[in-house]
Structure 1
Amino acid sequence: MENYKLGVRASWITVIINIILAIAKIFAGVLGSSNAMIADGVHTLSDILTTFVVLLGLKISSKEADNEHPYGHEKYESVFAKILSILLLITGVFIGYKSIIILINGNINTPKSIALIAAFLSIIVKEGMYWYTIKVARKIKSISMEADAWHHRSDAFSSIGTFAGVLGARLGFPALDPIAGIIVSVLVIKVGVELYVKSVKELVDESASEEVLKIIKEKAGSIDGVRGIKNLKTRVFGNKIYVDIEIFVDSNISVKAGHDIAEKVHDRLEAEISDIKHCMIHIEPFQK
């Protein structure tokens, strides 16, 4: 629940900043005769939509397990991350399409200095929002918030392209505006594809990393009475991990003693590895 509150607070902060920034950019674009800046402002408006999607994802994924979802709701994080990655892809395609049309038609106005100033400020603000959001996302292990952070950075990339285009147009090179837009669109699409692949991996019960598997084996094997590990399987479930592990115990001890050893392994793994949501221990007889 603490992670949910932290994520919600960060998301609302970015919503407020984006609303102010979008209005300022569109106003600067209209006043400064810059189509690129107007498009950049619309891009920022799309960030507001994606952040609301993140808020919805955080709310649902933080719910406790129920009869219909006995394993919890964490996978909804990955579902909403897929939605955000698709929005990133659409945004990238839109930016690229508009830039290509402008380049073909040659309808490029010479923008005023207010558009240049707005683009520069947007780069600073959006990059700051990226680092703030990505820090919170990694702390609470939220893939949908991580996707939202990259949406902020895509807006910063967009503003870099806008800045270069506006500056180029004012220096007598109007074609730099749409060319920069095309480059930005490719970067945004790349991020969208990467996040889509990452969210899909979480939805298909991919195993935890080799590093995590090594830690689990070391901690389980260090428990007194564990004679070895026969099998270890893990699956990523949203921002959590489910563990199934088979351990060897002396074949001559009682069922109660074997159960106690398994209980110690279970308690240690869940207590010392915060990402583990549930651990299932199965005991096997060890014979020399």
Structure 2
Amino acid sequence: MLRGERFNRADRVIKVGFWINLVLMVMKLAAGYYGNSEAVFADGLESACDFIGIGLTIIALKVGRKPFDADHPYGHGKVESLSAIFVSLVIGGTGAWILYAAVETMVIGNYQAPSLIAVGAAAITIVIKEALYRYSVKVGDTLKSPALLAIAKDHRKDAITSVATLVGVTGAWFGFRIMDPLAAGLTSFFIFHIGYQTFRTSAHELMDGLPEMEMVAAIADLARSVKGVESVHDIRARHSGQFVIVDLQLGMDPQMTVKESHDIATEVKRRIFDTFANVGDVMIHINPSDEPHDDLIRL
């Protein structure tokens, strides 16, 4: 997949989520206000907070698609992970706000009887947000985009929130009025969990944490399969937004010419690019295979 096509697909997912989220936000705020449901109204305010996360993601994708330059020789991809960190903080802040509002209502004991419109708004949100989650996570997994995956988790968070909201507002509609703020409070803990997962994954990528071991092992096996490569060692990889940057060392016959070893290394790199669409760059170091090699490193 071409670089521009990757970012265009990500843009489409973000824009679909943006406009649908706008419609849901207006619907839930109106249904919560006129339908006397604190849980549904809080759900609408949560959707408003999501605009911060979506806006940050749009900016991150715009910056992240810029090619490498003199100041950023590895490109600008890490801005996606940085954006995902901000999204996780928005998710966590939303959970804290919902928990505070629910506890305050239960302490005061000012319960209201919600109307059927609030029940319908919660049910519609569940269906739409779950569909958005599946759409976003499918494209996010394909592109290996941390920003898209963070947005997908945010959609799943909204779906979970709305399930609890539906249970609470339905119970309150049948007369158990405490269930409305209680559902909102319990939902906040699911939100905290999703925010923590998003933060942990993004922080791992920002700290150059190793990608999936299956991918690293597959790259090493592919390099070994190239004629002329006698060993592969000290393979490292790290995320840069939607791409992975790979470093590896190849052991080759010490009698080879520089041109021969260079051609083999180029073939290794070409096969890696052909097989792994999310690999952005491969840096190869060549060592003589007939003697042990201790890499010089200060890290």
* Aligned: 1:286 with 2:293: no
Query: 1:214 corresponds to which residue?
Result: 217
The CA deviation string for residues 178-235 of structure 1, in whole angstroms up to 9 with x for no partner, is 2211221000000101110100110111123221121111111111111112422222
Q: Which amino acid aligns with 2:110?
A: N
Q: Report the 3-state secondary structure (helix = DSSP H, G, I; strand = E; otherwise coil) of the residue aligned with 1:253.
A: coil
Whichever residue aligns with residue 231 of structure 1, its letter is D
Q: Are 1:54 and 2:57 an aligned pair?
A: yes
Measure, in 2, the Cα distance between the counterparts of 1:219 and 1:199: 28
C-alpha change, 1:107 and 1:206, in structure 2 (3 Å) is: same
Structure 1 residues 112 and 59: alpha-carbon distance in aligned structure 2, compared to 1, 3 A threshold: same
Q: Does 1:248 pair with 2:251?
A: yes
* Structure 2 residue corresponding to 1:201, chosen from 200, 204, 214: 204
2:173 is equivalent to residue 170 of structure 1: yes
2:12 is equivalent to residue 9 of structure 1: yes
CA distance in 1, matches of 2:290, 2:174: 81
Q: Does 1:43 align with 2:46?
A: yes
1:64 is displaced (CA, Å) by 0.8
Q: Alpha-carbon deviation of 1:108?
A: 0.8
Say whether the 8 Å CA contact 1:168–1:174 is kept in structure 2: yes
Provide the residue aligned with 2:266 in structure 1.
263
Greater displacement, 157-166 / 85-94:
157-166
Alpha-carbon distance between aligned partners in 2 of 1:286 and 1:15, rounded to the nearest angstrom? 54
Corresponding residue of 1:87: 90
Structure 1 length normalisation: TM-score? Answer: 0.95
Give CA-to-partner distance per residue, 1:242-274, whole Å, 9 cap, x none. Answer: 222211111223222222222222222223222
Cα 1:166–1:230, aligned 2, differ >3 Å: closer, same or farther?
A: closer
2:34 maps to which of 19, 31, 50: 31
1:189 aligns with 2:189: no
Q: Partners in 2 of 1:222 and 1:278 — Cα distance?
A: 19
CA 1:181–1:241 in 2, change beyond 3 Å: closer, same or farther?
same
TM-score, normalised with respect to structure 2: 0.91
For residues 149-188 of structure 1, the C-alpha deviation after alignment (integer angstroms, 9 at most, x for no partner) is 2222222222222221211112221121222112210000
Structure 2 residues without counterparts, runs of 5 or longer: 292-299
Q: Secondary structure at the match of 1:267?
A: helix
> Match of 2:121?
118
Within a 5 Å distance, the mapping from 1:228-247 to structure 2 comes to: 228-247=231-250
- CA offset digits 1:69-118 (Å, max 9, x no partner): 11101100000000000000001111111111111111110111111111
C-alpha contact 1:247 1:283 (8 A) present in aligned 2? yes
Q: Distance in 1 between matches of 2:17 and 2:254?
A: 58
CA distance in 2 between partners of 1:53 and 1:159 (Å): 24
Give the alignment partner of residue 158 of structure 1, picking from 132, 147, 161: 161
Q: Residue in 1 aligned with 2:77? A: 74
Counting aligned pairs with the same residue, the percent is 33
Instruction: Give me the whole-angstrom Cα distance separating, in 1, the residues matched to 2:18 and 2:220.
Output: 43
Contact 1:203–1:238 at 8 Å: present in 2 too? no
Q: How many residues align?
A: 288
2: distance between equivalents of 1:71 and 1:169? 55
User: C-alpha root-mean-square deviation of aligned residues, in Å?
Assistant: 1.6
Instruction: Give the letter aligned to residue 146 of structure 1.
Output: L
